[in-house]
Amino acid sequence: MASSALLLFHLHKLLILAFLLKSAAEVDGVPDLNGEMQILENISLPPGACIWKKSSGASHTPCEFEVLDVEFLDVLGKAPKVDFISHAPAHEGGVYFPNNEEFYFSSTWSVDELPEKPANLMKMSLKTGEISVVMKTMMANGMALDNKGKLVVCEQGLFQKRGFIQRIDLHSLSMSVVADNWKGLVFNSPNDVVVKSDNSIWFTDPNYGQTERFKGPSQVGKNQVYCVSATGVVTAVADGFEKPNGLAFSQDEKLLYVTDTGTSVGDGTVDLTKPHSITVFDVEGSNLSNRRVFASVAVLDGNFPSIGVPDGIKVDTTGRVYTANQDGIQVFSRGGKLLGLIRVQGAINMGFVGPQLNRMIVTNYTAIQSVQLNVQGAGLFYARSYHHS
């Protein structure tokens, strides 16, 4: 009995040690690669997928899907596929309009061509791939569809013209301003936006307009996250960011994820000392609490000048988090563990489309690409109700 008890005691200690070593190996979302590789090497991977291998410089010849964790195979399914759709000046937005099977996005722009050629609001037919200009804008950037099927657009503003949040009826193209100031102060340059089920509108406001030289000095003096209530009241709900950028709610809206692209200064330079991370908050109504780092985002090989620039962000119905980074779409577990990479170089933003919301459209400045996955996008209330009505 004594020897059995001693054996159990040592076994218990070994199990604790193994757990601690595994936990230590997963700090900051980095998986226990040795353990994962042993598992993955015994599993048949889907077409286009390969096991990611750590490298001090450039990685091996890249695959379309780099697998770091077994859970990523659930995301990919049996037949994942990346398809090139079209060359296009596709920047931000990434909004699916189910009525006409269209994908809306904002175009790229050049500071040297302002104000004559600002960013345009554009759309692509998901049926034909045809791309067209919808209208000229005041430097449109991020977009979302509200719960009535109207397009909510972040207009960054241009020189002396202030930035604002705009709502557009996609049938009549009639427009209205949702918010254009906080306590009388002009916004910096509204960047990305999401709409909650209670019809409140949440958006980020970094100072890229100032660093990219198409806006005057900041009146707010901070780079904040805002909430516009259904009655139009504008509240600053979070600050302390270097460059708050993409944002997304979890499926149950109890969590809000915000990317910080601080490493991308906006003047063409990179600052490796600034944030390149995803922050998550607990959400109760319009109040945020329990701020914490969800994941620090880095590129998976050495081919890029910056350590990482997590931009657009989306969540699927199981709670996995997707962020657009320089090397593609990085996918994280609910706990912040990096699961894998969908390699679309230079990815900026993306959106789930289609009747099942399981097809992802990715923009990367110069092109639009499509990725067929085995997941369903979260938070797309209008699209989901439209396809189930």
- Which CATH number belongs to the domain containing residue 206 in this structure? 2.120.10.30
Angle between helices 2-25 and 33-40 (to 10 degrees): 100
Q: Write down the pTM of the prediction.
A: 0.89
Domain that holds residue 119: 30-388
Q: Output the six-digit token pair for 28.
A: 């900051």
Predicted local distance difference test score (pLDDT) of residue 62:
72
Examine residue 138 and state whether it is found in any structural domain, yes or no.
Answer: yes
Question: How many independent structural domains does the chain possess?
Answer: 1
Digitized pLDDT (tens) for each residue of the chain, 389 residues in all: 433 433 333 333 333 333 333 433 444 444 455 566 566 666 789 989 999 886 544 545 679 999 999 999 999 999 999 999 999 999 999 999 999 999 999 999 998 899 999 999 999 999 999 999 999 999 999 999 999 999 999 999 999 999 999 999 999 999 999 999 999 999 999 999 999 999 999 999 999 999 999 999 999 999 999 999 999 999 999 999 999 999 999 999 999 999 999 999 998 899 999 999 999 999 999 999 999 999 999 999 777 767 899 999 999 999 999 999 999 999 999 999 999 999 999 999 999 999 999 999 999 999 999 999 999 999 999 999 999 77
Nearest to 123 by CA among 161, 170, 164, 165: 170
Element at 335 (helix H, strand E):
none
In a domain, 343, yes or no: yes
What pLDDT does 78 receive? 93
Alpha helices in 340-379 (DSSP H): none
Q: What is the DSSP string of 93-142?
A: EEEEETTTTEEEEEEP--GGGTTTS--EEEEEETTT--EEEEEE-SSEEE
Q: Phi then psi for 278, rounded to 5 degrees?
A: -115, 125
In a domain, 87, yes or no: yes
C-alpha distance from residue 138 to each of 71, 116, 230 (Å): 42, 11, 24
Among candidate residues 359, 368, 387, the one with its CA nearest the CA of residue 130:
368
pLDDT of residue 33: 55
**pLDDT given for residue 341 in this prediction:** 96
Please report whether residue 204 resides in a domain: yes
Q: Which two tokens stand for residue 343?
A: 């390699």
Tell me, yes or no, whether 23 lies in a domain: no
Q: Are 347 and 361 in contact (CB under 8 A)?
A: no
Q: What is the pLDDT of residue 301?
A: 78
Say if residue 206 is preceded by a cis peptide, omega within 30 of 0. Answer: no
Instruction: Evaluate whether residue 3 is within a structural domain.
Output: no
Laid out side by side, the sheet with 234-238 consists of 193-195, 201-205, 224-228, 234-238
Q: Residue 322 domain-assigned?
A: yes
Distance CA 140, CA 131 (A): 17
